[in-house]
Amino acid sequence: MNTWNYTNNPDFILMGLTDSKEIQLVLSVLFLLIYMVTVLGNIGMMLIIFLDVQLQTPMYFFLIHLSFVDLSYSTAITPKTLENLLTSNKNISFIDCFTQMYIFILLAGVECFLLSSMAYDRYIAICKSLHYPVIMSSRCCFALLTGSYMTGAVDSSVTVLSMITLHFCKSNVIHHFYCDTSPLLSLSCSDTHVVEVIIFIFAGCTVLGSLITVSASYVSILSTILRINSTSGKQKAFSTCASHLLGVTVFYSTLIFTYLKPSESYSLGKDQIASVFYTILIPMLNPLIYSLRNKEVKGAIVRLVKKRQGSRKLG
Q: List alpha helices for 166-293, DSSP H.
A: 181-185, 193-226, 231-259, 268-276, 282-292
Cα separation, 17 vs 2, in Å, equals 21
pLDDT digits (tens, 9 = 90+) for 61-101: 999 999 999 999 899 999 999 998 888 788 899 899 999 99
Q: Where are the domains of the chain?
A: 11-314
Beta strands 173-174; 11-14: pairing state? parallel
Rounded alpha-carbon distances, angstroms, from residue 192 to 11, 123, 129, 266: 21, 41, 49, 15
pLDDT digits (tens, 9 = 90+) for 198-226: 988 988 888 888 989 998 998 898 888 88
At residue 1 the predicted structure's pLDDT band, cuts being 50, 70 and 90, is very low
Q: Which of 20, 12, 6, 66 is nearest to 42 (CA)?
A: 66
Is pLDDT at 152 greater than 50 in this prediction? Answer: yes
Segment 103-132 shows an average pLDDT of 92
**CATH homologous superfamily, domain 11-314:** Rhodopsin 7-helix transmembrane proteins (1.20.1070.10)
Q: List alpha helices for 128-168, DSSP H.
A: 132-135, 138-163
pTM of the predicted protein model = 0.86
Is pLDDT at 59 greater than 60 in this prediction? Answer: yes
Q: Please give the pLDDT value at position 151.
A: 93
pLDDT digits (tens, 9 = 90+) for 231-242: 776 676 676 677
Q: Can you give the C-alpha Rg of the chain in angstroms? A: 22
At residue 141 the predicted structure's pLDDT band, cuts being 50, 70 and 90, is very high
Q: Please give the pLDDT value at position 165.
A: 86
Cα separation, 55 vs 224, in Å, equals 25
Identify whether the C-beta of residue 15 lies closer than 8 Å to the C-beta of residue 173: yes
Segment 129-151 shows an average pLDDT of 94
The number of CA neighbours under 13 Å toward the Cβ of 106 is 17
Share of the chain above pLDDT 70, in %: 88
